[in-house]
Amino acid sequence: MPPPIQAPPHLPPNVPSFYMRELPKDKLVGYDTPEGKKLFKAALLEGGLEAFFPLSQQFLTVSASSAYATAQHRSNGQSTAR
């Protein structure tokens, strides 16, 4: 078994995480591979991706975690309560 990966900087060191974990290559197909493009196209033509597009619009890549942003708001005197 490979050694555990260090937790991302915003988490305490012993918190379990999927951060930087290598994914099983034998069970996954990337969208950017010829097979992935073929599977995606087939699913699109068969109407099997109706939920994909609204869902994919909800994913964002951020440079800071929400925990970090919350801490930043608190240190600036801003409330995070809504």
Taking only the tens place, the pLDDT of each residue in 21-40 is: 777 888 889 889 999 999 99
Report pLDDT digits (tens) over 36-54: 999 999 999 999 999 998 9
Asked if the model's pLDDT at residue 57 lies above 60, the reply is yes
Which carries the bigger pLDDT value, residue 17 or residue 49?
Answer: 49
**Block residue for tokens 């994914």:** 23
* Eight-class DSSP state of 40: H
What's the whole-model pTM score? 0.46
63/60 Cα distance (integer angstroms)? 10
- Inter-CA distances, 16 with 1, 5, 23, 47, 77, Å: 16, 9, 16, 37, 31
